[in-house]
Structure 1
Amino acid sequence: MIEILTTGLPNTVQDLGRPGHLALGVSHGGAMDRQALAIANLMLGNDPSAAGIEVALHPFRLRVHIDTAVAITGADCAVSVGDRPCPPWWAMAIRAGETLVLEAPRIGARSYIAFAGGLDLPPVMGSRATDVKGSFGGLAGRGLSRGDRLALNPAQCGLPAGGFGSALEERRGAADGAACAIELRVLPAAEFDAFTPEAQAAFTGNEWSITNDANRMGYRLSGETLSLLSPLELLSHGIVPGTVQVPPSGQPIIQLADANTCGGYPKIATVIEADLWRLAQAPVGARLRFLPVSIEASTEALRANRQRRRDFIAARNLIVGKQRAP
């Protein structure tokens, strides 16, 4: 059992989402930074899709009431267990009665906490992810509140003394929107050719800022106005996380994990799946730059992400195997 001590409503229970239900009007949902949650679970020997906590509003504090193990990934923030500071992207044992604290991020926007065995909550449509719009999943379909208590699935987690962690090189500075623009690879979307040549050039040639109108549904951007060749009316059609729509204002909107499943605004591009974690870690005010790539490059980037996950599993198993060896 864990007890929430300090939190905010943007902090929710998440797993890797509930794909396959867009036709029913149900968003994919799940962790905004799916890679971070999956790696946190793998550190503990969990299934990558085990339910954990997505922390979007810091500081965050919880107390555990049983001996267990936790892993913290995502944003680069100060982490402590009791009076012991811990490095980022780290898995460690935590004893009953101890408090876990996550301070405001130095770089990034969202932190992820996985627990040995995962959070024990009933699945809805195959997932424990919180869908706040639909008020289902997670903990009664809502954000976490002070005093909430969550049960853990039973688990045995072998960790080296002092714990162990991961350092993904691609993340070093990748989400530091204050220092430089975050680069996002994109593919042209269905209505790309409906935009003027000037708009097409501006979309990939200029930088864009994330406005205050940003949440798990999507980010509104600020930058040069993108114009169509001529007025265009569309019936609502399916959209997915990463879709970049352009409303009449000419300022793009990027759809994210809890996005609507359909919409009628023209689509200029789609952020490739392998780069969605970069958006998840981009805070309000961060600057973005879009880089056009081929479908082949997009597929290879996704394949490389999956290979990194397999490599991490192998490395963890080697470390834990050495610890258990007589």
Structure 2
Amino acid sequence: MSITVVRPGLLSTVQDLGRYRFQKYGVVPGGAMDTGAARAANVLVGNEGHEAVLEITLAGAELLIDKDIILAICGADLSVKAAGERLPLWRPALIRAGSIIKFGACQSGCRSYLAIAGGFDVPVVMGSRSTYLRGAIGGYQGRALKSGDVLSAQAPGLLSERIKSLLSGGLNGGFAVPHWHASHFAIADSLADPIIRAMPGSHFELFTEDSQQALFRQTYQIAVQSDRMGYRLEGAQKLALASPQELLSEAVANGTVQLPSDGNPIVLLSDRQTTGGYPRIAQVATVDIPVFAQLKPGDRFRFEAITQQEAERLYLNSERDMQMLKAAIALKINGAN
């Protein structure tokens, strides 16, 4: 089975959950920006959550399917159509051979994730299939997809085959889907001003009291100069240290909020550098990083302060929800007649 890229859209890459254990050598983790949507899409087609998916940003991709295939699309609503008909999100779909999957205008969110039964078959580089664009490694030839690229699938597992068998009976037009769907994991598709929960960072006490309060009081906007490496934020009040500081570079994490000299925070994301020397005023809770990944330049949000204990509780709850999704799908598929 293969998928041909007719049009790549604004930015489409192969991603999985990231490239870890190599940060000490300066290799960035990378991986899907919205891991919740990527994992959910994999689970819906019968894969393990870490298989490679396509991350499609904002609009424009068109894909040609050469054989009947099970796929799922989660994350942003990019007005997806299959064989000319609107394709429902957050559920498995059996797509007929010869169909075109077309991603249109963005209705909500920023990044959409397409998983196929078995996962995309690209080389494993340092333990991951993810694309790191700046380093030109991983994914499909270390780059964003182009027109004419052909992506292959790995062999689907037993659960994927079972899903395909159950949906085959309903394949009348270009595709067939079940009546049920997964919850919209961590996507802020109906929030005008999303709330991003964060903990005070390791250098929080070095900032002026007014800056500490302003971080959680004011509304921020995602700047145009934002990408997978980090989101630059713009707020009415710039933040400042109480006094000049010389800081050593230290390891950074997904969601670390740094403050450069211009007083506007930067939130580090999937393609972040491995170390940073700017003061760290906050750390976004892991559970809200997928929400952050669905914001786009121009979107507005506010930070809300929480404790580390609360962040841990929220994370454990989100992992429980993912396990419940896996169990529910297994019950639906294996229990079907």
User: Would you say same fold, with TM above 0.5?
Assistant: yes
Query: 2:162 aligns to what?
Result: 158
The 10-residue stretch of structure 1 (181-190 or 199-208) with the greater mean CA deviation from structure 2: 181-190
Question: Judging changes above 3 Å, is the alpha-carbon distance between structure 1 residues 169 and 5 closer, same or farther for their aligned structure 2 residues?
Answer: closer
Deviation at 1:233, TM superposition (A): 1.6
Deviation at 1:322, TM superposition (A): 2.7
Please say if residues 175 and 182 of structure 1, whose CA atoms lie closer than 8 Å, have aligned partners that are also in contact.
no
- In 2, distance between residues paired with 1:259 and 1:240? 8
Residues 1:288 and 2:301 are matched in the alignment: yes
Residue of 212, 222, 227 corresponding to 1:200: 212
1:8-157 aligned at under 5 Å gives the runs 8=9, 10-155=11-156, 156-157=160-161
Unpaired segments ≥5 residues, structure 2 = 168-175
Please say if residues 10 and 60 of structure 2, whose CA atoms lie closer than 8 Å, have aligned partners that are also in contact.
no
Please say if residues 36 and 185 of structure 2, whose CA atoms lie closer than 8 Å, have aligned partners that are also in contact.
no
Please say if residues 37 and 73 of structure 1, whose CA atoms lie closer than 8 Å, have aligned partners that are also in contact.
yes
SS of 1:104's equivalent in the other structure is coil
TM-score normalised per structure 1: 0.95
**Identity level (%):** 37
- In 2, distance between residues paired with 1:166 and 1:143? 30
Letter in 2 for 1:297: E
TM-score normalised per structure 2: 0.92
Please say if residues 78 and 88 of structure 1, whose CA atoms lie closer than 8 Å, have aligned partners that are also in contact.
no
Residues 1:269 and 2:279 are matched in the alignment: no
Residue of 183, 190, 195 corresponding to 2:202: 190
Residue of 225, 239, 243 corresponding to 1:213: 225
SS of 2:104's equivalent in the other structure is strand
Question: Judging changes above 3 Å, is the alpha-carbon distance between structure 1 residues 171 and 242 closer, same or farther for their aligned structure 2 residues?
Answer: closer
Letter in 1 for 2:74: T
Count residues in correspondence: 321
Unpaired segments ≥5 residues, structure 1 = none
Alpha-carbon displacement from aligned partner over 1:42-94 (angstroms, at most 9, x marks no partner): 00110101101000141211011122111000002322211332222121011
Letter in 2 for 1:205: R
Letter in 2 for 1:196: T
- In 2, distance between residues paired with 1:188 and 1:134? 32
Please say if residues 9 and 145 of structure 1, whose CA atoms lie closer than 8 Å, have aligned partners that are also in contact.
no
